[in-house]
Structure formats: structure tokens, C-alpha cells
Amino acid sequence: MAGFNLLEQYGLTEEEIPEDVGRRVIPDGTYPFTIVNFEFKQGTDDHPETEWIILDHDLGEEGEFREWFTTVEDGDPTTDKVKNSLSFLRKRLAFFGQTLASIDFEPVIGLTGTLTLSTTQRGQKAFQNVTEYSIDENGGADDQPAEEPDEKPMALARPGRPAAAAKTAAPRAAAAKSGNTPFGGRRRA
């Protein structure tokens, strides 16, 4: 059986393929963006009891920049990391005219604006953060009025309120079965 030549198949040469590049870091600077994804993510293999809200920005030729906002850490919505992350999320939601008590993913997709990235070093790890953020005046939306959602967006569990977390368990379970997130968006595979 003859081998398959991937380079020939795609018209590439060995010289065009970089050595181990690791995680791609976008150079610090100011970029126009379009929001291409805004979703709820439950767990990973490493953190099955942690939940996030994820916001993806398409920066054009520079690629995509992802913001992760931790909403539950190892099953606990009251940790300092969660409270800090929710503080950042609250600021981001304000740009979309939303609050922590009322999050709707759909109207955010397609918004345009500008963000500034800055890298900081903590120990051996480099972290890239958004230091400035703005949404364009028209937000990139067309002139059509937004449709009213069929259902009211679900509120996030509030720190120090175990009953609130219990209230979200049923919608989360129903959402998991349907493939939707409890906030009305779709899960990415």
C-alpha cells in the first residue's frame, strides 16, 4: 500500500510548515472584531464540574480571540475566582445592554467593535487580556428591530444562594438533553 503525501495533496512544502508553534498568541494591539460565538459551556475532561460563558471574537486576519468567564468552579458558584470572573462578565454584558440576571446569547452574535489586547506574565505563564473594549455605534446589526425571545433568559446562580443553584439544575438538565444551553444558545460539538 502506497503512502499518502499530504504535502503534495495541498501544494505545501516542508519549509512552509513551522516547527512546534504551541498556542498561537495574537500580538498585543487594537483590533476590530465581530462576535462569532457566545455560549455556555459545562465541564471539560480536566474540570467536569466547572462552567463557563465563552465569548469568541473574530479579529479578521489575526484569527479568533476567546474570552472565558467562569460561572461555577468545581461545582461551587461562590469561589473568589468565580466572583472575580463574574465582575468582568458584568462589565462585558453592559456593552450588550444585558445584566447578570438576564443573559441572552442570540442578539450578541454579529455585533462589531474594537478591543485592545495586552499580555501579562505571571510566573512561567503568559496571559492575554482585553484592556479596552467598545461596541460600534450600530453594533454591526442591521436596521431590523430585534425579535422578542420566546422565553425569558435564565438567571445565573448567585454566590451564597444554594437555592438559586438548585433552581438552575432542572433547566440545565433539560438543556443538556436538547443540545441547547440553559441560556438559549446551542452547544458546540
34 DSSP β-pair partners? 58, 112
Confidence at residue 13, expressed as pLDDT on a 0 to 100 scale: 83
pLDDT at 52: 95
Between residues 172 and 79, which one has the greater pLDDT?
79
The mean pLDDT of 128-134, rounded to a whole number, is: 94
C-alpha 105/C-alpha 92 separation (Å) is: 13
pLDDT tens digits, 107-124? 999 999 999 999 988 888
pLDDT reported for residue 169: 45
Q: Name residues whose C-beta falls within 8 Å of residue 88's C-beta, 6 or more positions apart in sequence.
A: 69
Rounded Cα–Cα distance for residues 154 and 184 (Å): 8
CB within 8 Å of 53: residues ≥ 6 apart:
38, 39, 40, 41, 68, 69, 71, 89, 103, 183
CB 105 within 8 A of CB 111: no
Please list the helix, strand and coil fractions of the chain in percent, rounded to the nearest 5, in that order: 25, 30, 45
pLDDT at 78 exceeding the cut of 90: yes
For residue 60, the model assigns a pLDDT of 94
Q: Which three cell numbers stand for residue 110?
A: 454579529
The reported pTM is 0.63
In the chain, what are the domain boundaries? 28-141+150-178
* 8, HSE (Cβ side, Cα atoms, 13 Å): 3
Q: What is the pLDDT of residues 2-61, one digit of tens each?
A: 677 877 877 878 887 766 555 567 999 999 999 999 999 999 889 999 999 999 999 999
What CA–CA distance (Å, rounded) separates 79 from 114?
Answer: 31
User: How far, in Å, CA of 82 to CA of 79, rounded?
Assistant: 5
Indicate the pLDDT class of residue 139, thresholds 50, 70 and 90. Answer: low
Least confident of 70-79, 82-91, 101-110, 148-157: 148-157
